[in-house]
Each structure stands twice: as structure tokens, then as C-alpha cells.
A and B are shown apart, each in its own frame.
Chain A
Amino acid sequence: MEQRYEGTPQAAIRLEGRRLIRSDVTNDWGLRLQWEVRRNGQVVATINARPDVAYEHSDTAPGEYSVVLQMWHYINYAKNPAGEFTASRFDNISNVVTYRI
């Protein structure tokens, strides 16, 4: 029996100073939940968001930061020769917040 995933996960995130706060996830698939942090459009960190609803990114390099909550979306376990998934992927499940340093 292939694992089935019900619904579409969604959450809301907000910024308090530089501290990120997330809501609970509705339709939570229970898979990897992570903060994806970009600086000037480049991914600089992916942090496990399960342990806590709050996170503060410690990087203080100047730039435009954007953060979104992502969850692993399992479609199948197929991978390419380099070992990367070909169909399964991380999906954005929240709004995006930005701040500038």
C-alpha cells in the first residue's frame, strides 16, 4: 500500500523583528518541514522547522532576505543517477516574508 497524503498543507508565517513565527500547519503531511532562507535570491539555509514555531536566522550579512516555510512533497521515490529526487520536491506552504540587513 503506497503511502497516501491527504489535503494540501498550509501555514502562515510572520516576522517579529528578525524573529520568524509560524502557525500550526493545516493538512500537515508530517514530512520534513523547513524554513528556506534566501539572501538576494540565493538559498543560504534550510532549517528544520519542526522543533519550534519560532526561528531567528543568525546570518547578518547585508542583503535582502526572504523566508518561506516548505514541506517535503512525496510523489514517488524515483531519483536520477546523481541521487536527487526527480518528482518529489519541497513545496512552499506559506506566505513569504522579507527583511533587509
Chain B
Amino acid sequence: MLNIGNEKVSLCSGLTRRSFLQVGVAGMAGMWLPDLMKLEAQGSVDGSRARIKNCITIFLVGSPGHLDTWDLKPQAPSEVRGKYNPIRTNVNGIQICEHFPLMARKMDKIALIRSLHHRTGATHENGQRWMMTGHDFNADAVKPHTGSVISRVFGPKSELPANVILPGPIGNTGAGNFHGQTAGYIGSAHEPFFLGADPAAPNFRVGDLEVPAGMSASRLDARRELLGQLDQLQRRTESRTTQTHDSSYDRAFRLLTSQRARDAFDLNLEPARLRDRYGRNTFGQSCLMARRLIEGGVRYVTVNHFDTVFGQTCWDMHADGGGLNNTYLDYERHLCPQFDWAFTALLDDLEQKGLLQETVVAVLSEFGRTPRLNGRGGRDHYPNAWTNFLAGGNIRGGQVIGSTDRIGSRPHDNPIEPPQVLASIYHGMGINLDTTTMPGPGERPIRLVEAEPIRQLF
């Protein structure tokens, strides 16, 4: 942690909007071009053949019960099948929960993966790390977020950072601080940029990204010089492989002074009707901002649906009567409708903007929920089986990959693990996983992820 004036600036756990602007991005301009050019030269990355140019990940913090959402078992005993009925979708033979009526009309664009599972403990953080990084946890070598890897391989397309997380980082989910939303060992140049503000707030203004009133050009230049010195200091604390080639803060200042970059964050430029269509709430407006950022040149946007599982509505349906008291009522009145509304708006909007074919939308979560309802009518953590899904890009929609047994307790066929999902995203973006490596701890080259893509997706 660096302190600049009164401001604490995190170096290893994500950059806030303010610290991004104050510290810059540690030479964002320096690293990626050589990486990309080198990888292209050796045939590891073929960006021209990649149909996925961008990725939006919607992370359903808390994790929906698979048996109550996208893998219903209407023939199972009542203590398993739960409360909801399946409805037909626009793809013959695929049914989902009745509380996703709009998503049901878009199933031809969506590939459900119903056989996800992981083999580590049933904590939120384990699942988050698997789905954000594709790796198990190792405190000595914190693995990078997928968006940070994409930042490292491809670099930015515009003044905007390559990897953005909205609206803010995942906070307390019960068992530690490592959620897989940092650049880890690949260095601070690729830390996600956290908006750190609520885009649904009435007072949310893109002015937060503007040069403070009264700051003259000479003061700005003086600050730039100071930050350049801090950059030198920071570089000395990082290993050679995570250093950037330049000590430039140009990109941070370009973001600060670029109208185009500021506009990407300005939801007031969208028609009111479109803002309504996403939902006038934190999640919906974050999804809309994700589309704007992709349009503006961000490569990888993660939208965290909630930042905690405690004391508020979220997917973590324990129904415990205390601080984890989400129930079926939260699902049917709040969570499912909110997701259904925003997710389908995002697909429609990307399509209308001509961006859907080059943007994969991945809806991910930590795990599933117990097949049998607990004594209070809730479901608890269950990493042995769950459903996530992808759409857009070159994903072949209208299909179900894998299945679970008759009570949703185990994969029945084609079991899929989280690294395979991330390998699929990398593959879709034109990255050859066999020849592309990252400098790991101690500068040892390591694979991006130890898995093969799910070929059926493409």
C-alpha cells in the first residue's frame, strides 16, 4: 500500500477509480504491445481469426440454486425439486425456471453448461477464484483474474483500461480476501480498474473522472512528474517480468483528459428508455455501462451482482433467519426478475449495436446449491454440480452441455470444471493455450490455465 497525500493506494488488491487516476496504471502503455506482437509472431495469438474480441462476465455473487433456476428437476421428490415450475424456451427440449420468461425467448443464443463442478471446499471464495482465475488458490502465487490475463496478452484498445470491474470489488463473502479479482503475479499494470461508484446513484457523475476544478495545467504536469517518480519506486518493487517497459503515466492522464473515455462512463448519454430497459438499479445500470465500455474499447468487463452475501438480498439462499436470510421470495420478486430484465437487455443491446458477435457474455457463479432443501426451506453451498452459461461471440447457442443426475447432485455426463470455461474464452479470443505462457512467480513460464476449451461450445 502506498500513501499519496491522504490517499491510500492499493497495489495488490485492485485499483480504485481514484487511485487509478492518481497513481496511473504503472506504465500501461509499455507492456502489451511487445507481448502481443511477440505472441502473434510465434503463432500463439491470432487476433485476426478470433471472433471473440471482448468479454463481459456477469458474476452472480452468492450463487443461484441450479435446481431453482437453470436445471430444474420437475420429476424429483418435493424436497429436491423446490418451488418453481419449468417453462419452455424458444429451443425445443430446453426448459428453465418460470421466473426467467425473457431469457427463455433467447435460449437460441445461449449455451447452458449444466455439469459444472469443482473439487475444493464449499466456500464462496474458492468458487470465485476458480471462476475468476481458472486456478485453485495458492497464497504464494496469487493467480491473475481472467481480465488481467487478457490485458496482459492484448493490451488496451483505447484510452480506457483493458480490464474493468463494475461496480466494485467483491467484499466480505465469509472466508477471506482472495476473490480472484486482482492481477496477481502478472503485476500491477494489469490490475482491474474498479469503478468504485454506483452507476444507479442519482448523483453518479462522470465528473469524477474529470480534472478537479481549479487544477491548472502546470499543477497537472507537476502531479504527472510526481507520479512518474512513484512509478519508478513501484517498478523497483516488482520483479523484472512484471515491470513495464516505460514509466509512462500517459494513459492515466489520457483517461483523465479524454472526452471519449469520460463519455464511456456517462450513462446520461443513453436514452432514458434504454436505461429503463436495463433496470434502474445498480446491477442493471452496471450492465449498461459494461456495454458502453466495450463499445469504448474495454476488452474485458466483469459485473459483480452484489459485493457481499451478508445482510442484503443476494443469491445465497440459506434462509437462515439471520444474516443469510435469502429465500424463495427474494428469488421470485427480486433476483430472478432483475437478472432476467438486465441480461436480456444486454443481449439485445449488444446485438443492436453490432457487438454481440464479437463479445462473449459469460454468466458465472461460485457453485450450485444443495439438492435437498434445508430445514428452513433454503439451500446451502454445493460445489458438486451447478449451471452457468455463455452467449454471444462464436458461442453456439441453443444447446445444453452436460447434465446432472435425477436430483442434480452430480454431473451425469460431460462433467465440466471452471478452468475449461475460461480456457474456452481464451480460445475464442484466438489464444493458443499450448503455446501462450505467462511469466509466473520467479519468472517461470506457466500456462494461462490447465484445461482444454469446451469444443462443443463453438
- Rounded to whole Å, the gap between the CB of A62 and the closest CB of chain B is 30
Contact present for A77 and B312 (CB under 8 Å): yes
A59 within 8 A of B: no
Contacts of A29 in B (CB 8 A): 279-281
Number of interface residues of A (CB under 8 A): 32
Contacts of A83 in B (CB 8 A): 319, 327, 329, 377
- Rounded to whole Å, the gap between the CB of B288 and the closest CB of chain A is 11
A6 partner, pick from B202, B312, B319, B329, beta carbons under 8 A? B202
How does the 8 Å CB contact mask read for B99-116 relative to A, with 1 for contact and 0 for none?
Answer: 101100000000000000
Complex CA–CA separation, A3 to B303 (angstroms): 13
Contact present for A74 and B272 (CB under 8 Å): no
Given A50-B340, A77-B325: A1 touches B280 (CB 8 Å cut-off):
no
How does the 8 Å CB contact mask read for B252-293 relative to A, with 1 for contact and 0 for none?
Answer: 000000000000000000001100111111111100000000
Task: Give the segment of A20-28, A36-44, A92-100 that binds chain B.
Answer: A20-28
- Rounded to whole Å, the gap between the CB of B354 and the closest CB of chain A is 24
Contacts of B272 in A (CB 8 A): 26
B330 within 8 A of A: yes
Q: Most chain-A Cβ atoms within 10 A of its Cβ — which of B101, B198, B325, B329?
A: B329
Complex CA–CA separation, A46 to B280 (angstroms): 23
Complex CA–CA separation, A72 to B276 (angstroms): 15
Nearest B residue to A78, CB-CB: B325
How does the 8 Å CB contact mask read for B323-365 relative to A, with 1 for contact and 0 for none?
Answer: 0011101101110011011100000000000000000000000
Contact present for B312 and A72 (CB under 8 Å): no
Contact present for A30 and B313 (CB under 8 Å): no
B306 within 8 A of A: yes
A5 partner, pick from B99, B200, B311, beta carbons under 8 A? B200
Complex CA–CA separation, A5 to B337 (angstroms): 14
Q: Secondary structure of the A side of the interface?
A: loop
Contact present for B276 and A4 (CB under 8 Å): no
Complex CA–CA separation, A9 to B272 (angstroms): 13
Contact present for B326 and A77 (CB under 8 Å): yes
Contacts of B168 in A (CB 8 A): 1
Nearest A residue to B321, CB-CB: A81
Contacts of B282 in A (CB 8 A): 1-4
- Rounded to whole Å, the gap between the CB of B87 and the closest CB of chain A is 9
B307 within 8 A of A: yes
Given A30-B342, A31-B334, A77-B325: A51 touches B101 (CB 8 Å cut-off):
yes
Taking CB atoms and an 8 Å cut-off, the chain A residues in 8-66 that contact chain B are: 9, 24-33, 48, 50-51
Contact present for B281 and A32 (CB under 8 Å): no
Contact present for A31 and B307 (CB under 8 Å): no
Contact present for B329 and A85 (CB under 8 Å): yes
Contacts of A31 in B (CB 8 A): 279, 281, 333-334, 337-338
Contact present for B281 and A30 (CB under 8 Å): yes
Number of interface residues of B (CB under 8 A): 43
Contact present for B312 and A30 (CB under 8 Å): no
B201 within 8 A of A: yes
Given A3-B312, A33-B337: A77 touches B330 (CB 8 Å cut-off):
yes
Contact present for B337 and A72 (CB under 8 Å): yes
Contacts of B332 in A (CB 8 A): 32
Contacts of B319 in A (CB 8 A): 83
Q: Most chain-B Cβ atoms within 10 A of its Cβ — which of A27, A28, A85?
A: A28
- Rounded to whole Å, the gap between the CB of B317 and the closest CB of chain A is 11
Given A1-B168, A31-B338: A26 touches B333 (CB 8 Å cut-off):
no
B82 within 8 A of A: no
Nearest A residue to B319, CB-CB: A83
Q: Most chain-A Cβ atoms within 10 A of its Cβ — which of B200, B333, B340, B341?
A: B333
Complex CA–CA separation, A1 to B268 (angstroms): 21
Contact present for A77 and B198 (CB under 8 Å): no
Contacts of A28 in B (CB 8 A): 276-277, 279-280, 341
Contact present for A6 and B280 (CB under 8 Å): yes
Taking CB atoms and an 8 Å cut-off, the chain B residues in 188-208 that contact chain A are: 198, 200-202
Nearest B residue to A77, CB-CB: B313
B161 within 8 A of A: no
B419 within 8 A of A: no
- Rounded to whole Å, the gap between the CB of A65 and the closest CB of chain B is 24
Contacts of A3 in B (CB 8 A): 200, 281-283, 306, 312-313
Contact present for A32 and B313 (CB under 8 Å): no
Complex CA–CA separation, A63 to B295 (angstroms): 54
Complex CA–CA separation, A81 to B377 (angstroms): 13
Q: What is B's interface to A at a CB cutoff of 8 Å?
A: 98-99, 101-102, 167-168, 198, 200-202, 272-273, 276-285, 306-307, 311-313, 319, 321, 325-327, 329-330, 332-334, 337-338, 340-342, 377
Q: Top 7 A-B pairs ranked by shortest CB distance? A: A30-B279, A30-B341, A6-B280, A51-B101, A28-B276, A72-B333, A77-B313
Given contacts A26-B276, A84-B329, A88-B333, 12 further A-B contacts (CB under 8 A): A1-B168, A5-B200, A5-B280, A6-B202, A28-B276, A30-B341, A32-B333, A32-B334, A32-B337, A50-B101, A79-B329, A83-B377
7 pairs, A vs B, C-beta closer than 8 Å: A30-B278, A30-B337, A50-B340, A74-B333, A77-B312, A77-B325, A85-B329
